[in-house]
Amino acid sequence: MNGRRISFMTPIVVTLGLAVGAAAEDIRVPHARGEVVLPAPPQRIAVFDLPTLDTVNALGKSGLVVAVPKPADRPANFPAHLSVYAEDRFAPAGTVFEPDAEALKALGPDLIVVGGRSRGKYDEMGAIAPTIDMSGGEGDLVANVVRSTETLGRLLGAQEAAETRIAAFTATVAEVRDLGRDAGTGLVLFGAGQGVSAQPPGSRFGAVYDLVGITPVMEPAAPDAGPRPEAGTPEAEAARVRQQEVLVAALAAEPDWIFVIDRNAAVGNAEGEPLADRLAKDERVTATKAWQADRVIHLDARTWYLMGGGIDAISASAEAVAEAFAAAQ
């Protein structure tokens, strides 16, 4: 069975504001770690937060970007719609986990953006240039994306572009949510390695339900009980058993739609049997109403697993899901 493949992302954008300081040329940028004051709009940006890169690109400001997270010795792994940043004109400056401090010092950006996987390098980056942390906060995905786009629009002098993109985005979200309310129930499956887990509302990928307006077959996630148990321990085995019990119960609840996220595809791991093939052989999955009705949507793995935000990426997801919902009516 062939599912539909679409682009989708989970929320990691922090609620930000922007205010002009007492001196007319000063720009104050509140962010997840406090506030940065810039003497003027930035002209040379190093971006280590992929949702921010998505939104900067959507606002037509790619010309301000001088460095992005990509290794110098192997191909970059950007989502398809951001593949332009693999070009040589955008300098490689490490990865989201390990930004290259020496490369950044040589490039001399006037603003560095971290977030998500790179947020742990905030202090190190702040010693090189003014740095903002765009890591996601709590709250509604759509509202966070709108606020982030507004902030970046003002920060980069692209207010009109931001307003236009936000208007289109909110209209698309309203459309998919209207269709989703009548689409029945949904279940998000996440594949990693050779395993599969069911994702409830409130989990890392639970924002799918809220974005598309569908009713989950699962109850919201319980509060995090602590760090993941070490592999090979009795605790890890017990967690695996519980995960399988949750998966069986979720599939037995007969979702009308299944959304699939494949980590292996996101990171380029081709080892083992592809997730789509494993699902097609799993009688627990193929027995569901969703599978029988060909209502399985494969979300674009790189944009969803690697990014987790950005107005273009989430717009594309909402549009594709709306199309699938409409076609099934």
Amino acid 34: pLDDT: 86
The answer to whether the beta carbons of residues 176 and 318 sit under 8 Å apart is yes
Helices (H), 202-274: 207-212, 234-252, 263-267
Residue 23 has pLDDT above 50, yes or no: no
Average pLDDT value over all residues in the chain: 87
pLDDT band at 231 (very low <50, low <70, confident <90, very high): confident
Amino acid 238: pLDDT: 80
Q: Which among 66, 134, 71 has a CA at the least distance from the CA of 98? A: 71
Is 23-137 assigned to CATH 3.40.50.1980?
Answer: yes
pLDDT band at 72 (very low <50, low <70, confident <90, very high): confident
Return the ∠ at Cα 249 (arms to 245 and 253), rounded to 5°. 170
The answer to whether the beta carbons of residues 109 and 66 sit under 8 Å apart is yes
Across the range 107-126, mean pLDDT stands at 93
The strands making up 91-92's β-sheet, listed across from edge to edge, are 91-92, 65-68, 45-47, 111-114, 131-133
The answer to whether the beta carbons of residues 300 and 6 sit under 8 Å apart is yes
The answer to whether the beta carbons of residues 297 and 3 sit under 8 Å apart is yes
Question: Where in the chain do CATH 3.40.50.1980 domains reside?
Answer: 4-9+168-328, 23-137
DSSP state of 62: G
Residue 203 has pLDDT above 60, yes or no: yes
Residue 12 has pLDDT above 80, yes or no: no
The strands making up 34-38's β-sheet, listed across from edge to edge, are 19-20, 27-31, 34-38
Least confident of 81-85, 170-174, 224-228, 233-237: 224-228
Helices (H), 78-119: 101-107
CATH of domain 4-9+168-328: 3.40.50.1980
Match 């076609």 to its residue by tokens. 327
Residue 230 has pLDDT above 90, yes or no: no
Distances 144 to 10, 33, 60, 73, 185 between C-alpha atoms, Å: 11, 17, 20, 35, 25
Give how far the C-alpha of residue 323 lies from the chain's centroid of Cα atoms, to the nearest Å: 21
| Residue of 147 and 291 predicted with greater confidence | 291
**Rounded CA separation 263/271 (Å):** 12
**Rounded CA separation 263/142 (Å):** 23
Across the range 24-39, mean pLDDT stands at 83
**Pair of tokens at residue 44:** 């040379």
Amino acid 218: pLDDT: 94
Query: pTM for this one?
Result: 0.86
